[in-house]
RNA sequence: UGGGGCGUCGACUAGUGGUAAGUCACAUGCCUUUGGAGCAUGGCACCCAGGUUCGAAUCCUGGCGCCCCAGCCA
């Protein structure tokens, strides 16, 4: 048995992980440390909004911000960006923390919330009003949009832009006191309505929202916008390198403006390209839609590209860490192929996970010349990649199950497995030869009659003869029943967002993303396998015990398949035939 | 359309004036008591055009292409 370790491997420095890879952000930090900028201090932060679950894209940001801090002896804060009470919930806070821990992120006691700074943010807003740099605007949302102008046309100044400091102060105080309804007024920064950067056309700093906040309750009815809050929150925390994704690049001048007006510590924002993965959607909004509309069973559905989904599927933090190290960091907009992530999952699982025999679609086999009442305990290697993993005993008896796919009555070319008259090895057991095929009334194969060679115990051939194939098996009387959930990509298209007229991304959902296989048979040794335990089912793939398991029946998620050379050959044969 | 970014094998990423490298994927072979894993080998990659230079992916000029921005979301 083996369970996912909870070691921090999504951050560099663990024994097996590759040395930190150079990239442009790391280069900047190296330079800053060398030039003693910020006193040589490195402080980053990871600022999720608690309005959804962490997904694969976040793992890249987490790996970066936490990893860089660790590498340079600095700190990385966790700060929830909770400036919008309408969309945020404590459920998400707890889930995000759990996922972060699992990934190995370490923020020690530095768990913060943007809402921790609401008082300071408000005081700074007052300060900006007093300096004539902010004003209360009575325009409606629609009017604000009209006044903003377009890409090619400059905006127009709000008619309320010229209000006196006193009037602004009084109005802002009344906004805060709850004198006005939602949306009736805003506090705006007085910058430049003609700026080619739309973010600088008098952006909103505060909006009226009579909504209960998950942390501050009903203390406030005005809430700062992200654009107003973010830079100052970073500043308050002494962040030196504020790492974020590319779409915030043209917000940076705005953050800089607030910091300069206020004359406070100025973190350096550095933008990188967010993760894109083939066959995957990494948008919280769309992920939420999949959950709400029941396209998946929840945020932790093993098909979801969420961290909790991956955990349930059997992915490991180490796999994410190695993946993130390998994909690197840049500003080029790219799409990483899903098989690269899967490669790191397999690589990690291959070396840590014990092998076991399981039959997904059982075919009954009777060994005619094996004694009816005999049961042998045969030795099986737990993990050929790890000598310390030892061996286990597997019961063998007269009646067995093998994989239906491992028998062909009429074997095609290059099919080396069992067929009438052919001898194969039962892994760790004996060489057996198929003597007869039993069918039911409708012609379906229901049983194979085989004979075994007693000289080949353990699968050895004292006479040196070779067999083309070794197949897995399970003793019928001793094996346990289990359910297996086989997954394929959630979307059928490489780019799920590529849709036809009037369709949305759900049109690209893969109808075959989940296949439930009931009545599988597994080795008796798995009887008390705990939830989350990972195994390799020999020749089939990696599987993980699902929380839906009961004492009566284990449920397994297929984490990843093994390379299937025969399937490839068969595909080619079929392609050539048609 | 104004602004901000970005163009290197199929994918991701190195390279920072001097032999274009690595990983995945793909292909072929070896090995194998998992058709697993492993090992070995392989392939018209520098967006285009000029320029500077003995020498350019790298520097300059001009094109072309792609991404992001007109939420009181983040």
What confidence tens digit (pLDDT) does each residue in A267-287 have? 999 999 999 999 999 999 999
Cα separation of the two ends of chain A: 45
Other CB atoms closer than 10 Å to residue A149's CB: what's the count?
16
| Interface predicted TM-score (ipTM) over 0.95 | yes
Instruction: For A370-412, write each residue's pLDDT tens digit.
Output: 999 999 999 999 999 999 999 999 999 999 999 999 999 999 9
Q: Which nucleotides of B are covered by protein (CB under 7 A)?
A: 1-8, 10-16, 22-25, 27, 33-38, 66-74
Full-model pTM: 0.95
8 A C-beta contact, residue A146 and residue A154: no
Other CB atoms closer than 10 Å to residue A73's CB: what's the count?
10
What does the pLDDT read at residue A500?
A: 86
Dihedral, A195, A201, A205, A207 alpha carbons, nearest 10: -160
With CA of A209 and C1' of each nucleotide, the nearest comes out as: B72
Task: Report how far residue A390's alpha carbon sits from residue A406's, in angstroms, rounded to the nearest whole number.
Answer: 28
Long-range contacts of A562-567, Cβ-Cβ distance < 8 Å, separation of 24 or more: A562/A346, A562/A536, A566/A414, A566/A415, A566/A416
Runs of H (alpha helix) within A112-244:
118-130, 141-148, 165-177, 226-236
A292, burial (CB in 10 Å: exposed 0-12, middle 13-18, buried 19+): exposed
Classify the C-alpha dihedral A253-A269-A50-A125 as positive or negative: negative
Lowest-pLDDT choice from A85-89, A118-122, A232-236, A435-439? A85-89
Mean pLDDT of A123-138: 98
Active site residue A553: no
Q: Is the CB of residue A495 inside 7 Å of nucleic acid strand B? A: no
Window A103-162, strand B contacts by Cβ < 7 Å: 139-141, 144-145, 148, 150-152
Dihedral, A114, A119, A123, A124 alpha carbons, nearest 10: -10
Other CB atoms closer than 10 Å to residue A315's CB: what's the count?
28
How many Cα neighbours within 13 Å face the side chain of A276? 15
Q: Is the CB of residue A264 inside 7 Å of nucleic acid strand B? A: no
Dihedral, A290, A296, A301, A307 alpha carbons, nearest 10: -10
Task: Report how far residue A402's alpha carbon sits from residue A213's, in angstroms, rounded to the nearest whole number.
Answer: 58
**For chain A, how big is the Rg over CA atoms in Å?**
31
Instruction: For A299-350, write each residue's pLDDT tens digit.
Output: 999 999 999 999 999 999 999 999 999 999 999 999 999 999 999 999 999 9
What does the pLDDT read at residue A18?
A: 55
Mean pLDDT of A413-436: 98
Can you say how many angstroms the Cα of residue A119 is from the centroid of all Cα atoms in its chain?
35
How open is the CA angle A430-A435-A439, to the nearest 5 degrees? 120
CA A70 to C1' B19, whole Å = 37
The fraction of chain A above a pLDDT of 70, given in percent, is 96
Q: Is the CB of residue A226 inside 7 Å of nucleic acid strand B? A: yes
Mean pLDDT of A43-62: 98
Output the average pLDDT for chain A: 95
A18 by DSSP, 3-state: which?
coil
Is residue A578 over pLDDT 90?
A: no
What does the pLDDT read at residue A19?
A: 61
A273: tokens are 């390209």
φ, ψ dihedrals at A346, nearest 5°:
-65, -40
CA A280 to C1' B45, whole Å = 26
Residues 6+ apart with CB under 8 A from A305: A55, A56, A57, A277, A280, A281, A282, A287, A490
What does the pLDDT read at residue A48?
A: 98
How many Cα neighbours within 13 Å face the side chain of A225? 17
With CA of A381 and C1' of each nucleotide, the nearest comes out as: B33
Q: Which residue has the higher pLDDT, A15 or A211?
A: A211
Residue nearest to nucleotide B10 (CA to C1'): A337
Window A364-403, strand B contacts by Cβ < 7 Å: 383-385
């Amino acid at each position: 048995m083996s369970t996912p370790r909870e070691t921090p491997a999504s951050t560099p420095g663990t024994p097996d992980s590759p040395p930190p890879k150079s990239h442009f952000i790391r280069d900047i930090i190296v330079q800053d440390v060398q030039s003693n900028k910020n006193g040589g201090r490195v402080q980053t932060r990871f600022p999720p909004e608690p309005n959804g679950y962490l997904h694969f894209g976040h793992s890249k940001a987490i790996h970066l911000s936490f990893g860089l801090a660790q590498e340079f002896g600095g700190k990385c804060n966790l700060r929830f960006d909770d400036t919008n009470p309408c969309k945020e919930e404590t459920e998400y806070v707890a889930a995000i923390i759990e996922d972060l821990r699992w990934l190995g992120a370490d923020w020690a006691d530095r768990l913060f919330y943007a809402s921790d700074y609401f008082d300071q943010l408000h005081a700074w807003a007052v300060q900006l009003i007093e300096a004539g740099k902010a004003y209360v605007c009575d325009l409606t949302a629609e009017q604000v949009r009209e006044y903003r102008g377009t890409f090619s046309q400059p905006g127009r100044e709000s008619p309320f832009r010229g209000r006196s400091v006193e009037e602004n102060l009084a109005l802002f105080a009344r906004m805060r006191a709850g004198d006005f309804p939602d949306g009736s007024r805003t506090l705006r920064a007085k910058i430049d309505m003609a700026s080619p950067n739309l973010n600088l056309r008098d952006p909103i700093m505060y909006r009226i929202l009579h909504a209960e906040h998950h942390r501050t309750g009903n203390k406030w009815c005005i809430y700062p916008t992200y654009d107003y809050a973010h830079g100052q929150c970073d500043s308050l925390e002494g962040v030196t390198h504020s790492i974020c994704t590319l779409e915030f690049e043209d917000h940076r001048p705005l953050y800089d403006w607030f910091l300069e007006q206020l004359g406070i510590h100025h973190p350096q924002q550095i933008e990188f390209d967010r993760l894109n993965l083939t066959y995957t959607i990494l948008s919280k909004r769309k992920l939420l839609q999949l959950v709400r509309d029941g396209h998946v069973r929840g945020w932790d559905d093993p098909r979801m590209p969420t961290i909790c989904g991956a955990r349930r599927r059997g992915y490991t933090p180490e796999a994410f860490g190695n993946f993130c190290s390998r994909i690197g960091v840049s500003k080029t907009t790219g799409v990483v192929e899903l098989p690269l992530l899967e490669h790191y999952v397999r690589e990690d699982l291959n070396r840590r996970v014990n092998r076991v025999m399981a039959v997904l679609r059982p075919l009954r086999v009777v060994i005619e010349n094996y004694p009816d009442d005999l049961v042998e305990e045969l030795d099986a290697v737990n993990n050929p990649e790890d000598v310390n993993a030892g061996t286990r005993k597997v019961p063998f008896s007269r009646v067995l199950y093998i994989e239906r796919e491992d028998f062909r009555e009429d074997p095609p070319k290059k099919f080396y497995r069992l067929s009438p008259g052919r001898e194969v090895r039962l892994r760790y057991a004996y060489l057996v030869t198929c003597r007869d095929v039993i069918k039911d009334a409708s012609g379906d194969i229901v049983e194979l009659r085989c004979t075994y060679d007693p000289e080949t115990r353990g699968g050895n051939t004292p006479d040196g003869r070779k067999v083309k194939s070794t197949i897995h098996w399970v003793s019928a009387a001793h094996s346990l029943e289990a359910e297996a959930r086989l997954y394929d990509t959630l979307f059928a298209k490489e780019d799920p967002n590529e849709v036809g007229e009037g369709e949305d991304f759900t049109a690209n959902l893969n109808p075959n993303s989940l296949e439930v296989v009931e009545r599988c048979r597994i080795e008796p040794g798995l009887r008390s396998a705990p939830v989350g335990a990972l195994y390799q089912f020999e020749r089939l793939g990696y599987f993980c015990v699902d929380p839906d398991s009961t004492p009566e029946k284990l449920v397994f998620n297929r984490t990843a398949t093994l390379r299937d050379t025969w399937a490839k050959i068969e595909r080619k044969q079929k392609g050539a035939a048609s």
